[in-house]
Copies of this chain bind each other. A is one copy, B any other.
Amino acid sequence: MPQPDPISACLIIIGNEILSGRTQDANLAIIGGKCDALGIRLTEARVIADTETAIIDTVNTCRAQFTYVFTTGGIGPTHDDITAAAVARAFDVELLRNEAARKALDRYYEPKRLTEARLKMADIPAGARLIDNPVSGAPGFQLQNVFVLPGVPAIMEAMFAGLTDRLVGGDPIITDNVTTNLPESEIAADLSALQAHYPDISMGSYPYFRKGKLGVNLVLRGTDAARMKAAAAALMTAILRLGGEALHGSPT
């Protein structure tokens, strides 16, 4: 097994609608991909309710434990959007009407449509650095290693793009796939031996059932392109030797 990377991240997904499964989260996959490219290991995600206690406790636990913490959700205009206030309490700082955030809302909304409910989106913890929102005005913010982002995936993604110069990562993480028609249990021993031979590459085995066919998707993750290539080739060889079909690439 590779040693844990010192540059880690945790995503905190805030919102009852995600927790109940009514809304399917899409931010984990987006942020996971961005972290890979930046060489940051997203090692945990937590889905929590939009209650003050849950947000305060989770933010404080995670910011002590991970290099970076991202939160999504709960920064809109309604009563259940309490992320900014709760993060202020987590850091024990005041929540203040932020002038730059107010101006960003001014630029986005027509004057008489900037209601009090919308102005609430300019209330930002003292000392926070804003994260620009190029899509819909209302900014996110950064307090130390915590980055507070909205829940709507397209907006979140556009805002994340403006963050990359604030995040220091390592070598980009590369993913590769080998697919086979052999059952998981028949490749288990070889896969185990290969994992031991390539401790710097994380190997995952995921059975799937698609288009009427059973198969296994073997996923390799690492940072060294040459080692990744050698590991994928070794895996292909092992599968062929066992009499299976081996396909380099994803099963979709």
- Chain A residues at the B interface, C-beta cutoff of 8 Å: 1, 4, 15-17, 19-24, 28-30, 32-33, 36, 42-51, 53-54, 76-81, 115-118, 120, 152, 175, 184-189, 191-192, 195, 202-207, 219, 221
Q: A43-B49, A51-B1, A186-B115 are in contact. Are A80 and B19 (CB under 8 A)?
A: no
Return chain B residues, CB-CB under 8 Å to A187: 78
Cβ–Cβ contact B221 & A16, under 8 A: yes
Shortest Cβ distance from residue A102 to the other chain B in the assembled complex, whole angstroms: 15
Cβ–Cβ contact A21 & B17, under 8 A: no
Return chain B residues, CB-CB under 8 Å to A191: 78-79
Closest residue to A36 on the B side, CB-wise? Answer: B20
Cβ–Cβ contact A47 & B44, under 8 A: yes
Cβ–Cβ contact B32 & A78, under 8 A: no
Q: A76-B207, A192-B79 are in contact. Are A115 and B185 (CB under 8 A)?
A: yes
Shortest Cβ distance from residue A221 to the other chain B in the assembled complex, whole angstroms: 7
Return chain B residues, CB-CB under 8 Å to A195: 79-80
Return chain B residues, CB-CB under 8 Å to A17: 204, 206, 219
Cβ–Cβ contact A29 & B21, under 8 A: yes
Q: A152-B207, A189-B117 are in contact. Are A47 and B28 (CB under 8 A)?
A: yes
